Structure 1
């Protein structure tokens, strides 16, 4: 019988996850707060994946997201790393500046008053 020590843990690089930083979350939550106050949105979810971060917006908790705000750093030199995706998967706006990309959502807040 031979005695073995503990199995060594692989010492590779730690998998990096993409996430929104504080400034980005501040901009997103500002728009989210206005839409909640208007009664349009009620819930959100944040996913930090390997290649992208997603802020999903829901009208009700049990539904599919109305909009997804995505951050894909690999696209920053091409189309821009931020995008807003609709419920059907269509990209509504894409660009390198988060505030500019989120303007597509603020248009939904503007209504005609009689």
Structure 2
């Protein structure tokens, strides 16, 4: 596994783990957080799969990132408050990936911040 792919795999795994292990307080909020977490994880997994096929193909990375951003924005539209804000921040991060390995690496470095926002929104 090349270094960019390894960083990507670590970023996707970190995002998935944080989203899946988010603890929510109230019953209604727990349902919302679980649904949002599952959907965000699905988007992250699809994005990761799409770009690991050929990390060197800038157009493929851009397309996968744009798709993930659009899906995450759509997901954020279903929620309000901090959950929506955390998802919109994640969508913006996907959108900022410029299509090369350095953009993916930069996103990987920011994953912990996004998982913290999602966790805070659901606690």
> TM-score over 0.5 for the alignment?
no
- More helix by proportion, 1 or 2? 2
**TM-score range normalised by the length of the shorter chain:** 0.3 to 0.5
Greater C-alpha Rg: 1
TM-score scaled to structure 2, two decimals?
0.37
TM-score scaled to structure 1, two decimals?
0.39
